[in-house]
A and B are shown apart, each in its own frame.
Chain A
Amino acid sequence: MAKTREKSGGSGKKSLKRKAAMEEPREGSVAGDGATEGVVQPPKATALPPGFSISEIKNKQRRHLMFTRWKQQQRKEKLAAKKKLKKEREALGDKAPPKPVPKTIDNQRVYDETTVDPNDEEVAYDEATDEFAPYFNRQTSPKILITTSDRPHGRTVRLCQQLSTVIPNSHVYYRRGLALKKIIPQCISRDFTDLIVINEDRKIPNGLILSHLPDGPTAHFKMSSVRLRKEIKRRGKDPTEHVPEIILNNFTTRLGHSIGRMFASLFPHNPQFIGRQVATFHNQRDYIFFRFHRYIFRSEKKVGIQELGPRFTLKLRSLQKGTFDSKYGEYEWVHKPREMDTSRRKFHL
């Protein structure tokens, strides 16, 4: 103890480190300390007895010091290893082994047995007889009703207006406190094919109910990250009246396939599209990202895009078989977080 008091006079990093080096082999080796005290120790070399970790140092400052030193050491080693690998690659040239692909959650996704095979005849039969068959057979053309929950605030109202410019043949109506179950028969009698209800909470839109009308499925989504047109940076001019093209990305499972068809049935089914607008529904890790762009092909391979229109993310909460009836309806899929979200690598859409 007397020795440490002497050393504390010359307080600098070096002396502290030396002190740390001497203090670590604690009880039982005080004699050892005495022996090594006079020897000049290199400032960064420490001899730790085996089975001793940095976290066992009780002194916070010294512990922090040891840890930062260890971290620096690790970083140096890592950098050295990288440089070495790079040199080896350059030396080998063409014969170098291919770079290993990093593991991502999308890479490691658990194989879903419900993945749709495009040639599957059962799925094809299913599609030919489900509620969207009239749309895909060109027997009906979509007519959408967009409304909100009761007494919407400005953001929601503006989102509805912008959505109606994005989706052709859509009409926005004020909700007026009407029950959805009463709105639906009226819509059916006026030949609407889809109903979109944007739910609002605390002045921001946070939910979307998409119901296909003549007895079709009803999907309930959680909506987040809503950006209106004026909040989008570097955007293009307002969208025109052209019917947009649709891109549905990554809806691989059977459930995803049904949802994809639901989205597709919102837009007129016309392969010869005019205009250079495109609406994208991109599914990644069960979140569906909606974007609306205008594109222009500068050459064969290069394309320029401008983002117009609102942007939001959706997450599916439930898919119900009939039209909106949350109490007595039958659900085809319900998201149950405690049962379904147990694995980070398993997705449902």
Chain B
Amino acid sequence: MVRRFSTEEGAFQCQRHCPGGEGTFRGLAQANDTLITCVDSGVLRVWHGDDKEAPSDPLLELKVGPGVCRMRQDPAQPHLVATGGKENALKVWDLQGSEEPVFRAKNVRNDWLDLRVPIWDQDVQFVPGSQKLITCTGYHQVRMYDPASSQRRPVLETTFGEYPLTAMTLTPGGKWVPKGPGWGSEGILHSPPTPPASCLLHSSVIVGNTHGQLAEIDFRQGRLLGCLKGLAGSVRGLQCHPTKPLLASCGLDRVLRIHRIQNPRGLEHKVYLKSRLNCLLLSGRANWRDELEEPRKHSEEPPENTEVDELWASLEVAAKRKLPRVDQGLRALEAQKRKKRWPAALSPQPCE
């Protein structure tokens, strides 16, 4: 069951039934008026975006393999999705292309005892600006894959901590590359006078594990840049602001925290939300306060984020589910006055 939630009205607008496959939703995405859903048992379906139609058959159905933990869409190319899971290696699928995956990752070599290294991809991220993918695993590894290169094995692998890594997000790096695909018009940190179209080069990821430890890892060198403190429970959702050095994190300890990643690294703000938080989503609007009175302008915003703006879907929780709905937290959040210019809205994309 997929429901559409509108933050302006603060209520669910409509819902649609997306049956098929067992298990919880692990990925939800929207591409050109179609809805892509992926379930735990590995059934990936593409539906018509038009909700008014009666529950129709999916446009496309793919079997990804059982035990999927995450399905993510490439923000640059909406027809590419990546899936990964427990004993389910990373695969990149082209929804317009064939039934076979475009890229299928290979497991690393056997370890020093000649034992097979188990696979458990918990989170996948596409690195914009190139074809690379980064995954974090339940065996506390962070790996980078490059489909453009000849090897199917990970290009880079590092480990962090001793506990499974559950969530990951890319940080906007401090470097500027002139004349790349447009990202955001605001400058951050030490920005020189830049040409109008500029993009941020990502160089690090932030991962969170089941003990509430957050770490920033540089994926070019594979080293740990620093840690963020504060969380007491398992990290379930992470997202970085596209231009400012801010990170929103939520977890099972029922608190939404916003950290500053650089100069200095630390906790900015935290909000107690009464349910166990599962997932979070940042609004695409950069200047939220200014736009309260004015009608929303799409021209300033980067094109990738308007999809995010439009799609506010929430999943209905069956009565027996362990985790309660997050949308109550969402309503509570909307009711509070926000200090920051952008709201961190909560809506579970992969939800149990």
Binding site for B on A (CB under 8 A): 113-114, 120, 122-123, 125-126, 129-131, 215, 254, 321, 327-334, 336, 339-340
- With both beta carbons as reference points, the residue of chain B lying nearest to A134 in the complex is identified as B320
Binding site for A on B (CB under 8 A): 138, 162-164, 166, 210-212, 229-230, 232-234, 252-254, 272, 274-276, 317, 319-322, 324, 328, 332
- With both beta carbons as reference points, the residue of chain B lying nearest to A114 in the complex is identified as B272
Expressed in whole angstroms, the minimum distance between the Cβ of A146 and any Cβ of chain B is 26
* Leading 8 A-B pairs by shortest Cβ distance: A330-B234, A122-B274, A332-B252, A113-B272, A330-B210, A332-B233, A333-B232, A126-B324
- A254 to B332 CA separation, bound complex (whole angstroms): 17
Q: Does B253 contact A126, Cβ atoms closer than 8 Å?
A: no
Can you list 26 A-B contacts (CB < 8 A)? A114-B254, A114-B272, A120-B274, A122-B328, A125-B324, A126-B324, A129-B324, A130-B322, A131-B322, A254-B254, A254-B274, A321-B234, A321-B252, A321-B322, A327-B162, A327-B163, A328-B163, A330-B233, A330-B234, A331-B233, A331-B252, A332-B276, A333-B232, A333-B233, A334-B211, A340-B232
Expressed in whole angstroms, the minimum distance between the Cβ of B108 and any Cβ of chain A is 19
Residues of A contacting B317 in the complex (Cβ-Cβ under 8 angstroms): 129
Q: Does A334 contact B322, Cβ atoms closer than 8 Å?
A: no
Q: Does A329 contact B210, Cβ atoms closer than 8 Å?
A: yes
- A331 to B234 CA separation, bound complex (whole angstroms): 5
- With both beta carbons as reference points, the residue of chain A lying nearest to B321 in the complex is identified as A129
Residues of B contacting A126 in the complex (Cβ-Cβ under 8 angstroms): 274-275, 324
Q: Does B232 contact A125, Cβ atoms closer than 8 Å?
A: no
Given contacts A327-B162, A331-B234, A333-B252, 20 further A-B contacts (CB under 8 A): A114-B254, A120-B274, A122-B274, A122-B328, A123-B274, A129-B317, A129-B320, A130-B322, A254-B254, A328-B164, A329-B210, A330-B234, A331-B211, A332-B233, A332-B252, A332-B276, A334-B233, A336-B232, A339-B229, A339-B230
- A125 to B319 CA separation, bound complex (whole angstroms): 11
Q: Does B322 contact A215, Cβ atoms closer than 8 Å?
A: yes
Residues of B contacting A131 in the complex (Cβ-Cβ under 8 angstroms): 322
Residues of A contacting B276 in the complex (Cβ-Cβ under 8 angstroms): 332
Expressed in whole angstroms, the minimum distance between the Cβ of A164 and any Cβ of chain B is 30
Residues of B contacting A328 in the complex (Cβ-Cβ under 8 angstroms): 138, 163-164, 210
- With both beta carbons as reference points, the residue of chain A lying nearest to B162 in the complex is identified as A327
- With both beta carbons as reference points, the residue of chain A lying nearest to B120 in the complex is identified as A328
Residues of B contacting A331 in the complex (Cβ-Cβ under 8 angstroms): 210-212, 233-234, 252
Expressed in whole angstroms, the minimum distance between the Cβ of B142 and any Cβ of chain A is 17
Residues of A contacting B332 in the complex (Cβ-Cβ under 8 angstroms): 122
- A116 to B273 CA separation, bound complex (whole angstroms): 12
Task: Known A329-B210, A330-B210; judge A125-B328 contact (CB<8 A).
Answer: yes
- A125 to B328 CA separation, bound complex (whole angstroms): 10
- A215 to B252 CA separation, bound complex (whole angstroms): 16
- A330 to B213 CA separation, bound complex (whole angstroms): 12
- A271 to B162 CA separation, bound complex (whole angstroms): 45
Q: Does A122 contact B275, Cβ atoms closer than 8 Å?
A: yes
- With both beta carbons as reference points, the residue of chain A lying nearest to B274 in the complex is identified as A122
- With both beta carbons as reference points, the residue of chain A lying nearest to B236 in the complex is identified as A330
Residues of A contacting B322 in the complex (Cβ-Cβ under 8 angstroms): 129-131, 215, 321
- With both beta carbons as reference points, the residue of chain A lying nearest to B212 in the complex is identified as A334
Expressed in whole angstroms, the minimum distance between the Cβ of B150 and any Cβ of chain A is 34
Q: Does B253 contact A332, Cβ atoms closer than 8 Å?
A: yes
Residues of A contacting B232 in the complex (Cβ-Cβ under 8 angstroms): 333-334, 336, 340
- A22 to B138 CA separation, bound complex (whole angstroms): 78
